[in-house]
Structure 1
Amino acid sequence: MYAQYGLFIDGSWSFGSKSGDVISPVSEAPLGQVPFATKDDTQEALEAAARALPALREMGGFTRADALHKAADEMIRRTAEAARMISAETGKPIAQSGREWALACEQFRWFAEEARRIYGRIIDSRVPGGRFEVTREPVGIVGAFTAWNFPAALPARKLAPALAAGCSVVLRPSSQTPGVAMVMVDCLRAAGLPDGAVNLVVGNTADTYAPIMADTRVRKVSLTGSTRVGQQMIRDAADTVKKVSMELGGNAPLIIHDDADLETALDLTVPTKFANCGQVCVTPDRIFVHETLHDAFVEGFVARASKIRLGDGLVAETEMGPLINTGRLEEIEAIVADAVRSGARIAYGGKRPAHLNNGFFFEPTVLTDVTDDMKVFAEENFGPVAAITRFSSEDEALARANASDMGLAAYSFTCSPDRARRMAAGLKAGMVGINSFALAAAEAPFGGTNHSGMGREGGIEGIEDYLDTKLAQFVF
């Protein structure tokens, strides 16, 4: 499955001296082996990235844009291959995998055009005959670290803006889902970028992460991962004063007001909550429903959840796949058990499905009578567990929704324009959806606040962290 790929260093695929299995979350059997980088491999990738910087800068924005468009063309041509790789490694339904790959393609299209629009400006000087000139330059080598839950979209959000800005990249995807990043990098290879512009290493922290963080030539690191890992990266980046951007955990609130369109809210919330088996940082985790709609909402939620078809994501009829590994499965079981011990009620699901003997499957689960102090509510559960509670007033819902250290996404359903505006202003999150969960788009800035991270990916803001601002004064 990975035979034609491996580590990608200085424009070529290579195979290291170590390797590791990639495990199918559906069968629990190995999908294949991928080479793991040694410290020397990672150092070689860093050397290649350093050599590529002058060539990338010399290309200019318009030529880099052409290369990124070529990469997107190649990615579109290889959509079927990439979607199957995503589903094989993550277990997510093939339709979701196809949409993820399409989103990744759009990142390269968007930032190809942003490469043409890296603007400077002229400022009048108070010195006679003088002027200030402001220009933007690539920050340098970028270290990019991505999680397993969106193995195509996450690397694309880092590779596309970095390359558009003229930065070379050393990418370390998750060793649980490395294959689709390899397909993406191969598309970039075919686009004619300079050797060393993109490098890919897979492996353990000591051999990959540590050398990248220690290297003074790496001027920017970007992470999608847990808050705990993000906190460590901030500490490590301080030693060499690297720029840092990161999208970390979430614990998104969803407020269903008494004037919400109930059927629309249910039709949108249920598939969103159980997409990728709930392993989505922006999924609605804490569901607050007005007391007048609570019972009807729970009834409708259970009716829809009970019809979700579990199974292998490569089977077209599957609507929800497994969790990524046995550790996640055991954690979800523990979270549900803790909630029940604390007084929550299982309205549906709550266990491993009896008809699936292999794989890390867990039923779509609906919990009611949940209180804010339960672990399922107080922390991101990152699984197929919908935790529902009731509220009586708008002020109460807003206060409880904001009672979290996280601040990635938040949602509200209402038919009142005035209330919608109050929710958009009052919810403490980097992104707010009103009657919608569609936050991820290449043209829009994606990211959070507080313990959910810093910086933005996508939109015109997405290229900013990969550029330095230079001021020059000219007097003649």
Structure 2
Amino acid sequence: MAAYPELRLCISGEWRRRPGQPVFNPFDDSVLGELPHATREDMDDALARAAEGHRAWRRTAPAKRAQIMQQAARLLRERADAIAHAITLEQGKPVGQARVEVLRACDIIEWDAEEGRRAYGRVIPAEPGLRHIVVREPIGIVAGFAPWNFPISSPTRKVAGALAAGCAIILKASEETPAGAFHLVQAFLDAGVPDGALSLLFGVPGEISDHLIPQPGVRLVTFTGSVPVGKRLAAMAGAHMKPAIMELGGHAPVIVCGDADPDSAAATSAIGKSRNAGQVCVSPTRFFVDDAIHDRFASAFGERAAAVRIGNGLEPDTQMGPLANHRRVEAMERLVADALGRGARLLAGGSRAGNRGCLFPLTVLADVPDDALAMREEPFGPLALISRTRDIGEAIGKANSLPFGLAAYAFTQSAPHVERLSDEMECGNLSINHLTASIAETPFGGVKDSGYGREGGSEGLACYTVTKNVSHLVTPPG
């Protein structure tokens, strides 16, 4: 059995031990290790080394950068089992899902590595003797802040995008699930990323963001996390005239049209809702179901949810692991109690399992009123909220009623419905008849309070560059 890694900071290739805080296993509350906290000196060292690393990395040929990044992906694939084991220990998800997450991180690295070779510019036609050339250059040092729910794939989005564009990056990874980022940085260093181009910090989130973001050397802020924290960091970045990529919370609606197969849609939805115990910013949560098939869909969803096996993510028969921490359990209890108190019906789950750890079953609530807290606050957990709608117009109106706009889903076999959904849904990512919000080659991000900027795809890579126009007078006047 692979051991949990000895966690350290990494600054310019140097691994540093520091006192800090314990890391817990959410299944049984056991202590896995100690997380080091960066000091002010560590942060200043990372900034100074990043300036040197950026100069070296941006001058590295794109083909060479791609070669190093591809080697990092190969190393991660070779180490996938050990990394997945560590992620399950610290975050709880079934080890099979953790391994898929590692492989998804590899896909992201490989795609970004190749796309970094295609940061094309253009020549703008001009009058004789004058040439306008547009080029894209690395934006500079990036400060990246990653969340706890995807310990390796979320940090990878930031690291791979920055490095592929030719930028140095200082990564502040999650304190609760640090092993994924630790292994990610180790693989990039082993692959040959130059000193300073990549550093890893842990610590008190507010202290690190408050110190890094205002520094003149930091040119871009990229953050994945909650809306309130994102707004605070975006305001700080704006105060210093720094662009930001903000991938914030969502409250994903699912529109189930009357022409959809209710049993198939329910089966797909139960699997999607149980993924990572619902601790996903794009997790399907608010189900707006056409009255014609509502009862059959709700019944099928409840039966599927009740059959989901929860437990230790290291056990082969576990389909859904624990929540990441006790805060999430308390939030689920509060939201379920509020919904039931307002008239919702419980179809599956509803209360924590056992008296230790953070196990909470997949929970399905029907007839959830619009004023229930869970319909307005992102649950970020295994809650599925089912509401009855008269038609697709009402469903779209309810789906768009919140200030969030990250991911949305729909089930339909109607081409006119697909066209209407595509035109009217207010979201950054719309998936129809499946629940995959993004892959490595597609742009991912939100609208409204769910943020701005994109990760993934050519659009995501462009966020790590600046556009420069060069005008050249070829023939001097006269």
| TM-score normalised by the chain length of structure 1 | 0.97
Question: Structure 1 residue 154: deviation in Å?
Answer: 0.5
Q: Structure 1 residues 170, 299: closer, same or farther in 2, change over 3 A?
A: same
Partner residue of 1:374? 372
Helix, strand or coil: the match of 1:284? coil
Check if 1:62 corresponds to 2:63. yes
Alignment of 1:8-407 (within 5 A): 8-16=10-18, 18-126=19-127, 128-353=128-353, 356-407=354-405
Helix, strand or coil: the match of 2:364? strand
Contact in 1 for aligned 2:289/2:389 (Cα 8 Å): yes
Contact in 2 for aligned 1:92/1:322 (Cα 8 Å): yes
What per-residue deviation string (whole Å, max 9, x for no partner) do you get for residues 385-409 of structure 1? 1110101112111111111100001
Matching residue's letter, 2:59:
E
Contact in 2 for aligned 1:139/1:466 (Cα 8 Å): yes
What per-residue deviation string (whole Å, max 9, x for no partner) do you get for residues 385-435 of structure 1? 111010111211111111110000111101112211211221111011110
Question: Structure 1 residue 239: deviation in Å?
Answer: 2.5
Matching residue's letter, 1:218:
V
Helix, strand or coil: the match of 2:196? coil
Runs of 4+ aligned structure 1 residues displaced above 6 Å come to none
Helix, strand or coil: the match of 2:59? helix
Distance in 2, Cα, partners of 1:112 & 1:366: 41
Helix, strand or coil: the match of 1:116? helix
Question: Structure 1 residue 3: deviation in Å?
Answer: 5.2
Contact in 2 for aligned 1:291/1:390 (Cα 8 Å): yes
Distance in 2, Cα, partners of 1:181 & 1:53: 20
Distance in 2, Cα, partners of 1:115 & 1:278: 33
Helix, strand or coil: the match of 1:21? strand
Question: Which among 420, 433, 436 is matched to residue 434 of structure 2?
Answer: 436
Contact in 2 for aligned 1:130/1:474 (Cα 8 Å): yes
Contact in 1 for aligned 2:20/2:35 (Cα 8 Å): yes
Q: Structure 1 residues 200, 433: closer, same or farther in 2, change over 3 A?
A: same
Distance in 2, Cα, partners of 1:299 & 1:267: 11
Provide the aligned C-alpha RMSD in A. Answer: 1.1
How many residue pairs get aligned? The number is: 472
Partner residue of 1:469? 467
Distance in 2, Cα, partners of 1:252 & 1:156: 23
Check if 1:423 corresponds to 2:421. yes
Instruction: List gaps (5 residues or longer) in structure 2.
Output: none
Helix, strand or coil: the match of 2:463? helix
Pick which of 139-148 and 289-298 moved more.
289-298
Partner residue of 1:447? 445
Distance in 1, Cα, partners of 2:442 & 2:100: 17
Question: Structure 1 residue 448: deviation in Å?
Answer: 0.7
Question: Structure 1 residue 5: deviation in Å?
Answer: 4.2
Helix, strand or coil: the match of 1:440? coil
Matching residue's letter, 1:434:
I
Instruction: List gaps (5 residues or longer) in structure 1.
Output: none
Distance in 1, Cα, partners of 2:196 & 2:7: 16
